[in-house]
Amino acid sequence: MNMNPYEQYMKEVAQPMREELTNVGFKELVTPKQVDDFVTTAPGTSLVVVNSVCGCAAGLARPAVRKSLEHDKKPVNLVTVFAGQDKEATQRMRDYFKGKEPSSPSIALTKNGEVLHFVPREEIEDHDIEDIVENLTRAYDQYC
């Protein structure tokens, strides 16, 4: 697929933002088929991060997610989709977040395709990293 110069630039700009998660074990899902395959076959609990280029993703969501994984209990699977970059994959993942408004960034704890816990942008933006970590680790303690 040929990218226009803007798309190429945004892909390059977003690469370090992707690596913040892939470097700690997250698998990127970049197509709807990858999303469907993952959701229908993943054993156990999964942490799904809807990544984004916004400031609250950079300053809050990604750092909080990484820190939350230092907790004793944690999800078995770690995956991410990138809003605004991998649009079709992101939309497909959101289709599995039944009853949840689209939100970027957002974090979902899922099992067997069902959302067990959801952290929308409203619970990320204007919150402390420690608050987000506590929100996530409480869910890990309950579901993992």
List pLDDT tens digits, range 40-83: 999 999 999 999 998 888 899 999 999 999 999 999 999 999 99
68 neighbors 140 (Cβ within 8 angstroms): yes
Half-sphere exposure of residue 119: CA atoms within 13 angstroms, side-chain side? 32
- What integer pLDDT is reported at residue 6 of this predicted model? 83
List pLDDT tens digits, range 17-30: 999 999 999 999 99
pTM of the model: 0.94
Structure tokens at 24: 């700690």
Active-site residue identified among 54, 57, 124, 139: 54
- What integer pLDDT is reported at residue 144 of this predicted model? 97
- What integer pLDDT is reported at residue 1 of this predicted model? 56
b/e map 41-61, b = 16+ CB within 10 Å: ebeebbbbbbbbbbebbbebb
List pLDDT tens digits, range 92-134: 999 999 999 999 999 999 999 899 999 999 999 999 999 999 9
**Residue 144 appears among annotated catalytic residues:** no
24 neighbors 66 (Cβ within 8 angstroms): yes
Active-site residue identified among 14, 56, 58, 115: 56
Structure tokens at 135: 């929100």
